[in-house]
């Protein structure tokens, strides 16, 4: 499985949805299930951390196309 | 002096003049155009000013309650169109215009301009539903085309901070009213298209009069919105205000704040959704483990069933059954034999010579050698025989037939 860090919120969340759906399907071995479950926990924590740390960034673009922080 | 020649008081005459003026339908519903001057608003909230052209001037008053309903206030040197009625102000012997509606010159034409441009752009297909584009559900980069100093920008930032702080807002600053606004708005939109990869652009301005919002009815601005590669959502003025850009844009929001809400997901909902999935993850895993546990228990039960102890126990049981059956069979056989024994015994009893003797029979033996006499040939006349009876013996001699015949005759 891929590294979670660097995933966008919606990609991490979409994978969390898939993980839950796959677990719900119940066609996996116990070992695979446990691995998926661990993956799901990481994704969930990652999503929550993204939302927790979120802080609106505000910039301004000038006529030369430079984008500079506004505050 | 006749009645007519009798002098009237100033008040009477003034009242008469007022009567004449207020009778006249033209003077009671009149539009007048001119330049405002000598404008002042008194502490009561009423406005006093003069409207003039190069040859004449007229005093005007606009009451506080009327003024509150207007989107325009008079300014010195500004050409205005006024609607109202003429009345006399007796204390000063003046007539004046009581203003009921005020607008800048040319605004009357604005509505027609608006409709003409709207029809033109509509005929070009710029309002068509199939031109409307969607933007990502999570717009991480949001361009905002508005004035850096306007309340609209602060409103948008407030909404985005609370609702979707994951975003990066890029302000593309522009004037939003006045003659210079349209080209600046056009440039602000182009800037974002040329230099950023915004997910969506919010073009917005707070509420104002129709003239204040006019830049958003400008054809250049409308075309810049239509040409934007990045999807555009507009939030111009208040709920009831519709501008041309609203028709051209990909989505129209009633206000800048509503626009900010429209384009973003709510972090509160996102948090709840993640929490829900987190809970689902755990409960699903619990269910899964419980299921596996049950499977394990079932296997364990099957294993126990298949274990040698069970086989031994089963064999034991079969053995017990066999023994039981054997025992039963032996018993039956014994009973049978016993019954047979009893029968034989009875037969034996009935065959006992004593029993025969008891029934009146006799056993004959030769007295000489004790041998049994069972046939007439066994003994010859003159031979001694013993007759064994039930209670003892008689001793006799065998006679020939003739001699015995005489006995018979004698007897009978």
pLDDT at residue number A28 = 83
Cα–Cα distance measured from residue B199 to residue B342, given in angstroms and rounded to the nearest whole number: 116
Give bridge partners of residue B384 from the DSSP assignment.
B397
Distance (Å) from the alpha carbon of B271 to chain A's nearest alpha carbon? 7
Contact residues, chain A, for B280 at CB < 8 Å = 20
Restricting to B residues 288-327, those with a Cβ less than 8 Å away from any Cβ of A are 288, 291-292
Q: How far is A46 from chain B (nearest CA, A)?
A: 10
B360: left (phi over 0), alpha (psi -120 to 50) or beta: left
Going from the C-alpha of B250 to that of each of A15, B194, B234, B254, the distances in angstroms are 30, 19, 8, 14
B225 in contact with A, Cβ within 8 Å: no
Distance to chain A for B183, nearest Cα, Å: 13
How many angstroms separate the CA of residue B232 from the nearest CA in chain A? 17
pLDDT in tens, B44-57: 999 999 999 888 99
Please classify residue B380 by burial: count the beta carbons closer than 10 Å to its beta carbon, then call 0-12 exposed, 13-18 middle and 19+ buried: exposed
Spatial separation of the C-alpha atoms in residues B279 and B296, rounded to whole Å: 25
Residue B107: CB partners within 8 Å, gap ≥ 6? B81, B210, B211
Does the global pTM surpass 0.80?
A: no
Task: Tell me the shortest Cα–Cα distance from A57 to chain B, in angstroms.
Answer: 5
Q: What is the DSSP string of B341-356?
A: HHHHHHHHHHH-HHHH
Partner-chain contact A26 B281, CB within 8 Å: no
The CA distances from residue B287 to A20, B280, B296, in Å, are: 12, 10, 14
Place of tokens 């008194």: B42
Give me the pLDDT at residue B149, please.
94
CB contact under 8 A, A54 and B172: no
Beta bridge mates, B318: none
Which residues in chain A are contacts of B148 at CB distance < 8 A? 60
B361 touching chain A per CB within 8 A: no
Structure tokens at B152: 């609209």
Out of B137, B194, B281, name the one closest to residue A41 (CB): B281
Q: Which of A48, A58, A60 comes nearest B274 by C-beta?
A: A48
Tens-of-pLDDT digits for all 71 residues of chain A?
A: 568 888 989 899 999 999 999 988 878 888 888 899 999 999 999 999 999 999 999 999 998 999 999 86
- Name chain B contacts of A9, Cβ cutoff 8 Å: 138, 166, 270
Helix and strand counts by DSSP (H, E) for chain A: 2, 2
Sign of the Cα pseudo-torsion (B9, B10, B14, B20, in order): positive
Query: DSSP state, B391?
Result: S
**CB neighbours of B125 closer than 8 A, spacing ≥ 6?**
B131
Name residues of chain B where pLDDT drops below 50: none
Residues of B in contact with A68 (CB under 8 A): none
Contact B165 A16 (CB under 8 A): no
Nearest 5°: the CA angle B339, B345, B349 is: 150
Calpha distance B371→B37 (Å, rounded): 188
Nearest to B168 among A13, A50, A59 (CB): A59
pLDDT single digits (tens) B184-209: 999 999 999 999 999 999 999 998 88
- CA nearest to B288 within chain A: A26
């Amino acid at each position: 499985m891929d590294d979670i860090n660097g995933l966008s919120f919606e990609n991490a969340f979409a994978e969390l949805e898939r993980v839950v759906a796959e677990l719900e399907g119940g066609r996996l071995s116990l070992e695979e299930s446990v691995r998926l479950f661990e993956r799901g926990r990481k994704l969930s924590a990652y999503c929550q951390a993204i939302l927790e740390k979120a802080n609106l960034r505000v910039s301004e673009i000038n006529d030369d196309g430079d984008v500079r922080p506004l505050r | 002096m006749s009645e007519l020649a009798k002098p009237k008081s100033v008040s009477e005459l003034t009242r008469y003049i007022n009567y004449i003026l207020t009778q006249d339908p033209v003077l009671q519903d009149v539009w007048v155009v001119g330049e405002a001057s000598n404008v002042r608003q008194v502490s009561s909230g009423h406005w006093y000013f003069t409207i003039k052209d190069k040859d004449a001037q007229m005093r005007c008053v606009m009451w506080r309650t009327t003024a509150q309903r207007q989107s325009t206030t008079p300014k010195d040197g500004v050409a205005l169109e006024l609607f109202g009625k003429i009345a006399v102000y007796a204390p000063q012997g003046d007539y004046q215009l009581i203003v009921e509606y005020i607008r800048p010159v040319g605004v009357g034409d604005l509505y027609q301009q608006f409709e003409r441009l709207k029809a033109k752009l509509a005929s070009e297909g710029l309002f068509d539903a199939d031109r409307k584009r969607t933007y990502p559900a999570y717009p991480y980069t949001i361009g905002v085309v508005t004035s850096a100093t306007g309340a609209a920008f602060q409103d948008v930032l407030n909404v985005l901070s609370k609702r979707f702080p994951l975003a990066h807002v890029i302000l593309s600053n522009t004037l939003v009213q006045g003659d210079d606004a349209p080209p600046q708005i056009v440039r602000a939109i182009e800037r974002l298209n040329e230099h950023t990869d915004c997910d969506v652009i919010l073009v917005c301005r707070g509420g104002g009069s129709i003239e204040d919002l006019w830049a958003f009815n400008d054809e250049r601005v409308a075309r810049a919105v239509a040409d934007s590669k990045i999807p555009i959502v507009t939030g111009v003025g208040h709920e009831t205000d519709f501008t041309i850009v609203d028709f051209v844009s990909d989505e129209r929001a009633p206000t800048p704040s509503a626009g900010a809400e429209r384009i973003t997901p709510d972090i509160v909902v996102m948090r709840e959704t993640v929490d829900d999935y987190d809970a689902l993850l755990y409960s699903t895993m619990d269910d899964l483990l419980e299921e596996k546990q049950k499977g394990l228990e079932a296997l364990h039960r099957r294993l126990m069933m298949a274990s040698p102890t069970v086989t031994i126990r089963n064999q034991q049981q079969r053995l017990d059954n066999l023994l039981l059956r054997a025992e039963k069979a032996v018993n039956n056989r014994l009973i049978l034999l016993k019954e047979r024994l009893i029968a034989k015994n009875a037969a034996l009893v009935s065959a006992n010579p004593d029993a025969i003797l008891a029934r009146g029979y006799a056993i004959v033996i030769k007295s000489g050698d004790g041998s049994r006499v069972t046939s007439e040939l066994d003994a010859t006349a003159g031979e001694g025989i013993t007759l064994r009876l039930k209670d003892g013996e008689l001793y006799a001699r065998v006679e020939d037939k003739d001699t015995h015949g005489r006995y018979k005759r004698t007897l009978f």
